[in-house]
Amino acid sequence: MDLLDTPAALDGWLHAQAKHLSWAGSASTTDWRAVCALLGELAADAITVLTGPQAERLRQCANPDCILQFVADNPRQRWCSSALCGNRARVARHYRRHNEAE
């Protein structure tokens, strides 16, 4: 079976890889188990987004300085956050318009 054949296969592989990570600091075994459980949950969620019906709505933020990707709520959504990246784009556009007029 190929690694990407099923979400369960990929999730199992990610869990196995988590055992190879090194832990910096003085964490107890209980902490390490919690980290592994969290990594497993993140992997499962990533698999769901990348292979599920939401995959076609996955977008890269239109802000060139932003590294985030997001699942678009509507087809015209361009920014990961209209309050942050979208607002920055609108402010920059306003600034360019007013400076070009002078």
- pTM above 0.75? no
Closest CA to 14 of 34, 38, 39: 39
Please list, residue by residue across 74-93, b when 16 or more beta carbons sit within 10 angstroms of its beta carbon and e when fewer do. Answer: eeebebbeeeebbeebeeee
Q: What is the pLDDT of residues 59-87, one digit of tens each?
A: 999 988 899 889 999 999 998 888 889 89
Contacts of 51 (CB under 8 A, 6+ apart): 7
Percent of the chain surpassing pLDDT 70: 69
Can you give the pLDDT at residue 72? Answer: 92
Q: Where are the domains of the chain?
A: 1-51, 57-102
Higher pLDDT, 23 or 76: 76
Can you give the pLDDT at residue 3? Answer: 47
Mean pLDDT within 15-38:
66
